[in-house]
Amino acid sequence: MSMLDRILRGKIKQGSLTILSQNGEASHYGERQSGWPDVTMRIQSSSAVSRILLNPRLGMGEAYMNGDVSVDNDDIMGFVEIIRRNNPWENGGEIGDPKPFRKWLRYLARPLMQLNSLASSRSNVAHHYDVSNDFYRLWLDEDMQYSCAYWSEADDSLESAQLTKKAHIAAKLALQPGQKVLDIGCGWGGTALYLNRVAGVEVLGITLSEEQLKLARERAEAAGVSDKVRFELLDYRVLAKRAPGYFDRIVSVGMFEHVGVPQFDTFFRACANLLKDDGVMLLHTIGRMGKPGATDAFTRKYIFPGGYIPALSETLAASEQVKLIHSDIENLRLHYALTLREWYARVCAHRETIVAQYGERFFRMWIFYLAGATAAFESGGMCNYQIQYVRNRRSLPITRDYMAQAERDLLAR
């Protein structure tokens, strides 16, 4: 453990981390401090340390999933937090010169990992979203919103924060009754049904997940609005050829992360062509606060194959190519961290059910993913962007006042 010991002693200053080797030898890092985790990790396999050192993110995730390391009380959230929080993305200090070789090496294979053809996109979506609707019901809010909530207060309930998120999005879309709205990556239909209910719009929701499609259609039927809110198993690229200039509004929540850099231009061209000339679009996506990067190995292998979190710079560069005007940009800096902590707590609360149905390894994979994601939004470079686009600069009022008023009106109902 000597190399691992040297690395950790240089990185852990606050909070307490104890690592117990197979022979019971204890190594202590940092110091106990109010408001910081106190974590004990146990090495259960001789190969675990070398695997972690070879590829820390993937190696640690696989070692934890396979039981080669364990964390007392399964506090993987505390373990990841103490590592990441001691080394925050915005750590101040002088900004060093760029390292061209590292940049070249990082991006060399990136396009090959994100080609995302029609067939591979369907497969990638099924990998994550077709686990089963019952699994997601265990820990999402009652409307099954699987994206960043919007927290007016940190102690809001998840249900309240997700409702506020939908109102926040609806206000930015400036909806009018009878308008035709496209929801790209509609999930289980919650946003589409909400927009129809509060604004009297007609919505087409498209997804590549058969499990999501089935439930979304059931929900529309149960609400008696299946003639106004329709759902299709359809790729945005196919729809763009069928319905040019058809939609007054486009909303896409948590789907752009699956597009992949090679398809950015295609995605925005499709959106621009699907919109009417005075149309409005709201893109809600996880983003990077810094420069473009690469998807970490654990997420790419186990969670979102083909996925990529875009930097704002590359998102705008692609949308600018098709004359989509970014009329409003908001950075939700900490909202996803609050959302993820609530999801993590709910997954942990349902441990017995999840392990019984899907196995211990599956459970550990999910809490490692949620813990890592939480740390990325609390101390790393991840955030959420909401980008409003228009095709015509005169499509919306010239100040943002209409958004706040519309949101207040929606939440007062």
- The pLDDT, as a whole number, for residue 3 is 78
**β partners of residue 383:** 287
Model confidence at 238: pLDDT above 90: yes
* 33-49 mean pLDDT: 93
* 263-271 mean pLDDT: 97
| Residue 276, both tokens | 């009417």
Cα–Cα distance, 312 to 310 (Å, whole number): 6
By C-alpha distance, which of 243, 103, 139, 113 is closest to 184? Answer: 243
Sheet holding 69-71, edge to edge: 26-31, 15-20, 38-43, 69-71
Domains of the chain by start residue, with CATH = 2-85 (no CATH), 111-411 (3.40.50.150)
Model confidence at 122: pLDDT above 70: no
Dihedral over alpha carbons 111, 287, 307, 281 (to 10 degrees)? -100
How many residues can be counted in the chain?
413
- 160 or 301, greater pLDDT: 160
Burial of 74 (0-12, 13-18, 19+ CB in 10 A): middle
Those residues with Cβ within 8 angstroms of residue 297's Cβ, 6 or more apart along the chain or in another chain: 55, 57, 58
CA distances from 292 to 100, 309, 311, 315, 344 (A): 14, 8, 5, 10, 27
Instruction: Indicate the pLDDT class of residue 10, thresholds 50, 70 and 90.
Output: confident
* 333-349 mean pLDDT: 97
pTM (two decimals)? 0.91
| Residue 94, both tokens | 């002088």
Predicted confidence (pLDDT) per residue in 367-395, tens digit = 999 999 999 999 999 999 999 999 999 99
Cα dihedral sign, 61-66-70-74? positive
Cα dihedral sign, 64-68-74-79? negative
Model confidence at 333: pLDDT above 70: yes
Lowest mean pLDDT among 22-36, 173-187, 393-407: 22-36
| Residue 122, both tokens | 């369907």
